[in-house]
Amino acid sequence: MSELLTQSRPYAEAIFEIAKDEKSLDIWVDDLSKVVSAMQEDTVRTLIDSPDLSQRNKAEIFVSLFESEISKKVSNFVLVIGQANRLKLLEKVLENFKSLVALEKKQKNVTVASSYSLEQDQIERIKLALQKRTGSEINVSAEIDKSLIGGIKISYEDQVIDLSLKNKLEALKAQLRN
């Protein structure tokens, strides 16, 4: 996993410089997010993993899915990375790119995991509390993790705030052993 992150870093840094110069950071984030989201679809995964097509054909077919939905520069980038057989890096490229954008804008990207879907007002309260705590603008992405049983787990930078029921049960188990 860290290997993919390392391989994706040069791509993220290159497109970051381009997007920064053109003042189009948000457009790149939105467009790359669309591409990465599409990659989660089974039919797209089948296309990417297909041994019957050349990398060039795969990349061209994949990029054609986004015709007029993403900018020409993002489309060209996806085409180039696809022809180099690196489409599987796109998720990590986006992750690295978002980190660079957050640093540029003095923001923090925060992941809030919960065992159920959070309502928008809950996310806003978490966001406000973290803004107060960190003094930075906060970008929240919510995800569902059924293993947490209940509660939430907040991750940003190298910090984790684990308020999950799973963590509390583990702590109780440790206390009972002692």
Q: Domain limits at 91?
A: 2-101
Shared domain check, 46 and 75: yes
pLDDT digits (tens, 9 = 90+) for 58-90: 889 989 989 889 999 999 999 999 989 898 899
Final residue belonging to a domain, choices 101, 123, 148: 101
Number of folded domains that form the chain? 2
Residues 8 and 93 in one domain: yes
Q: Where residue 142 sits, what CATH number does that domain have?
A: 3.40.30
Each residue's pLDDT tens digit, 84-100: 989 889 999 998 999 89
- Same-domain pairing of 53 and 111: no
Residues 8 and 78 grouped into a single domain? yes
- Residue by residue, DSSP assigns the chain as -HHHHHHHHHHHHHHHHHHHHTT-HHHHHHHHHHHHHHTTSHHHHHHHH-TTS-HHHHHHHHHHTTTTTS-HHHHHHHHHHHHTT-GGGHHHHHHHHHHHHHHHTTEEEEEEEESSPPPHHHHHHHHHHHHHHHSSEEEEEEEE-GGG-SEEEEEETTEEEEEEHHHHHHHHHHHHH-
The predicted model scores a pTM of 0.68
Answer yes or no: do 85 and 112 share one domain: no
Residue 1's pLDDT band (cuts 50, 70, 90): low
Among 61, 84, 101, the domain-final residue is 101
Give 5 or 118, the one with higher predicted confidence: 118
